[in-house]
Structure 1
Amino acid sequence: MDLAFPSSPLCLKTLNSHVTRSSSFISLFSTTTTATTTTTRLRKFSNISFTISSLATTLSSQPHAYDSTQLENKKHQLLTSIQDTQRGLFTTPLQRSSIEEALVNVEGYNRGEPINLAKLDGTWRLQYTSAPDVLVLLEAAARLPFFQVGQIFQKFECSGQSNGGVIRNVVQWSIPNLLEEQEGATLLVSANFTVVSMRNIYLKFQEITVQDIKISEEVQALIAPALLPRSFITLQILQFLRAFKVEIPVTNPGRESVGGLYYLSYLDDNILLGRAVGGGGIFVFTRSQSLY
């Protein structure tokens, strides 16, 4: 059956009126829906922004809680990586690569900060180095039965200073059966240092000293047997040996003090990392009790 549509002007006018009203309603509904959707999205975005802002504020109010834990883990990884190297004497290429990576990870936490001389002041014990002038001592002690190397320290004297101070490299060494074990004598290399940039110091070496001679009990017994009364001469000999001290100035042919640039790459209350500029090696120190 065919469907007949009204074709009179009145019917067409009425139909057009309904279509116009329907279109207006649809348009209004669409606009309202779009506005509502936009408002909802803005509210969601605002909530997300507020959440991110609140999180950032919380983290900034406690900046050390997260960073300090991460830093301590990095320091632990570094100290673990150097444990079985005997202060750098025995290392494989893989170990050296691992140590360098661990070192760089810790150094990143101090980058851009100036040297804190008040924190630097004190005694630091060597845990690891790749410096040839130190490794040669360790190698000699490993090969020669009549030579021992004990602890190695770096002692900074810069408390209350603003631009430098004194640094003393301390090596405790011994000759078995002649001197006391490990600490029979002390080799001291002294230098003045000046802060030349945010983390670089310039060392001007002054002298090398051999001191604190401690002869073994066997030698003391030979000089002054315990069963015999000690004479004035034997006592003088023992006193002379204890007070024995040799000082050698460090100069180059031009009579100027020898110097060197030292980069302090990381420093906090219990660890000090350094690099001798010019390929002189890296150093890992930990805080130690005062020597004197």
Structure 2
Amino acid sequence: MALAAAPLLRLSISPPSPPPPAATASFLACTSRISMSPPSSVRLRHEGRHQGLAAAATASPATSSSPAADTERRKHELLRAVQETGRGSTAKPDQRAAIEEAIVCVEELGAGEGSPLDLAALDGTWRLCYTSASDVLVLFEAAERLPLLQVGQIYQKFECKDRSDGGVVRNVVRWSIESLLEEQDGATLMVSAKFAVLSKHNIFLQFEEVAVQNIKISEQLQGLIAPAILPRSFLSLQILQFIKTFRAQVPVNGPERRSPGGLYYLSYLDRDMLLGRSVSGGGVFIFTRAQPLL
């Protein structure tokens, strides 16, 4: 066969030459020095490195985040949880459960005994971001059933800056009727109440009045009442002025009748977030700080 006929190569392999005696002595001297204990400077650097690693390993993660950062993180997670829920009207059971857990995490920051309710911090306008209260959700449900009805922003306005025992709170609902009023802000429903401070977290509401005001009619309706292409008569101008300044108010508290009160639990309050729970009617409320209402 061709492979069998192929000649075999003969390689000459010779053993390696031993190192010279001087090189062997130098190598042995070097290894003997390495096997000895390291100098003190090397030991110090070595021990310091291990001590630094041990300190970094035992450092607590909590020390890297301040209490202020933890507060902002919890608030951010809560606001993120209520997104895409239509202020609570479209929230599913699993979403409501997750939101409730996030609310409790924020409420823990303001729990415990301490100074009384800070009315100076409470004073101002707060915009509703989420609620599970049935008396507010019914407004959203009505807007779904009535296509022409629009529910805009909902606010809670506290007037108690220079008070220590209570003040006034106004629930403000912006709403509209399509083609008749301006979108989302065509009229204002306002429910006013006095409140008294009972404890650090509890206030008692006594409702006083329900009013409809700040009516802003649409351009189409203004054109029907007083066409722009025709000279506007004194009567048409009076009608427009009457609508703009119209205010219908219904007292709900007086000498002959007294409105039922309500206990409101303010579970958390800081410069830009307010959490509340309606003790009598049930439901939670999440508010964020808003610009003052005109």
Q: TM-score normalised by the shorter chain: which range applies?
A: 0.7 to 0.9
8 Å CA contact 2:215–2:246 kept in 1: the answer is yes
Q: How does 1:70-89 map to 2 (within 5 A)?
A: 70-89=70-89
CA distance, structure 1, for counterparts of residue 226 and residue 276 of structure 2 = 46
Give the residue type in structure 2 aligned to 1:238.
Answer: L
Aligned residue pairs: how many? 233
For normalisation by structure 1, the TM-score amounts to: 0.77
The answer to whether the 8 A contact 1:252-1:258 is kept is no
AA in 1 matched with 2:174: Q
Answer whether contact 1:205 1:257 (CA < 8 A) is retained: yes
User: Is the Cα contact below 8 Å between 2:262 and 2:280 reproduced in 1?
Assistant: no
Q: Aligned-pair distance for 1:252?
A: 9.3
Query: 1:234-245 to 2 correspondence within 5 Å?
Result: 234-245=236-247
Corresponding position of 2:127? 125
> Post-superposition shift, 1:250?
1.3
Residue 150 (structure 1) shift: 0.3
C-alpha separation between the residues in 2 aligned to 1:258 and 1:252? 12
Counterparts of 1:139 and 1:262, CA distance in 2: 24
Report the equivalent of 1:108. 108
Q: In structure 1, what is the Cα distance between the partners aligned to 2:275 and 2:254?
A: 28
**Contact 1:212 / 1:242 at 8 angstroms: preserved in 2?**
yes
Give me the whole-angstrom Cα distance separating, in 2, the residues matched to 1:169 and 1:264: 15
Where in structure 2 are the equivalents of 1:261-280 lying within 5 Å?
261-280=263-282
Give the drift of 1:278: 3.3
Question: Structure 1 CA distance, aligned partners of 2:177 and 2:92?
Answer: 29
**Which residue is equivalent to 1:8?**
none
Amino acid aligned to 2:80: T
Q: In the alignment, which residue of structure 1 is the partner of 2:212?
A: 210
User: Equivalent residue of 1:83, what SS?
Assistant: coil
**Identity of counterpart residues, as a percentage?**
60
- SS state of the match for residue 227, structure 2? coil
Structure 1: tracts of 5 or more residues without a match: 1-50
Root mean square deviation, CA, Å? 2.0
Give the TM-score of the pair, scaled to structure 2.
0.76
Q: State the Cα distance separating 1:253 from its structure 2 match.
A: 11
1:141-166 superposed Cα distances (whole Å, 9 cap, x missing partner) = 12211211000000000011001000
Q: Hey, which bits of structure 1, 4+ residues long, moved more than 2 A?
A: 251-254
Query: In the alignment, which residue of structure 2 is the partner of 1:160?
Result: 162
* Mapped contact 1:250–1:258 kept (Cα < 8 A): no
